[in-house]
């Protein structure tokens, strides 16, 4: 399972130590071999996972940390959607961004902007209609 005899020996010893410590939890009606086998498999899987994490950590140390991704604001500014959002009225764009980018509900947007919930819904509808017009050439 591990592909390394030394690691397998260490895991076997750890499995027996865990079984000895948990012997009081074993139910006499269940086969002890199956119980011990499950402990050994769990120890092996845990060892394998720790080994994989060590390998990833070593790779990150050798290669260095990846560059941070560009900010969503930068991507939005340079995209067709960003340009289209700048062309629609600010109140409509604000409602649209709060709803679809930040995930707020209409009630939360209304509270944040100090407007009724129905006004939020109408601004969203108007903003979507204007965006369809603005992005019509791009979407074809």
SS3 70: coil
Residue 106 sits in the same domain as residue 132: yes
Residue 51 sits in the same domain as residue 80: no
Residue 93 or residue 83, greater confidence: 93
Question: For a pLDDT cut of 70, what percent of the chain falls above it?
Answer: 94
Residue 53 sits in the same domain as residue 79: no
Contact 45, 2 (CB under 8 A): no
What's this model's pTM, rounded to 2 decimal places?
0.46
Mean pLDDT within 23-45: 83
Residue 32 sits in the same domain as residue 84: no
Residue 9 sits in the same domain as residue 57: yes
Neighbouring CB atoms inside 10 A of 123's CB total 24
Contact 36, 15 (CB under 8 A): yes
Helix, strand, coil abundance in the chain, percent, nearest 5: 75, 0, 25
d(CA 106, CA 124): 9
Mean pLDDT within 31-57: 85
Whole-number average pLDDT of the chain: 85
d(CA 10, CA 102): 49
Q: State which residues form the domain around 22.
A: 5-63
d(CA 102, CA 107): 14
Contact 120, 95 (CB under 8 A): yes
Residue 76 sits in the same domain as residue 23: no
Identify the pLDDT of residue 139.
Answer: 66
Look at the chain and report how many structural domains it folds into.
2
CATH of the domain at 123: 1.10.10.10
Q: What angle do CA 105, 108, 110 make, to 5 degrees?
A: 110
State the residue for tokens 């086969």. Answer: 31
């Amino acid at each position: 399972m591990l592909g390394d005899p030394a690691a397998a020996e260490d895991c076997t010893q750890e499995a027996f130590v865990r079984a000895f410590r948990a012997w009081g939890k074993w139910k006499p009606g269940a086969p002890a071999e199956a119980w011990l086998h499950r402990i050994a498999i769990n120890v092996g899987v845990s060892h394998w996972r720790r080994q994989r994490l060590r390998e990833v950590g070593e790779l990150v140390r050798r290669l260095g940390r990846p560059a941070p991704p560009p900010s969503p604001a930068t991507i939005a500014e340079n995209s067709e959607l960003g340009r289209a959002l700048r062309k629609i009225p600010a109140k409509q764009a604000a409602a649209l961004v709060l709803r679809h980018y930040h995930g707020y509900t209409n009630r939360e947007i209304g509270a944040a902007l100090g407007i009724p919930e129905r006004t939020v819904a109408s601004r969203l509808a108007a903003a979507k209609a204007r965006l369809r017009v603005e992005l019509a050439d791009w979407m074809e």
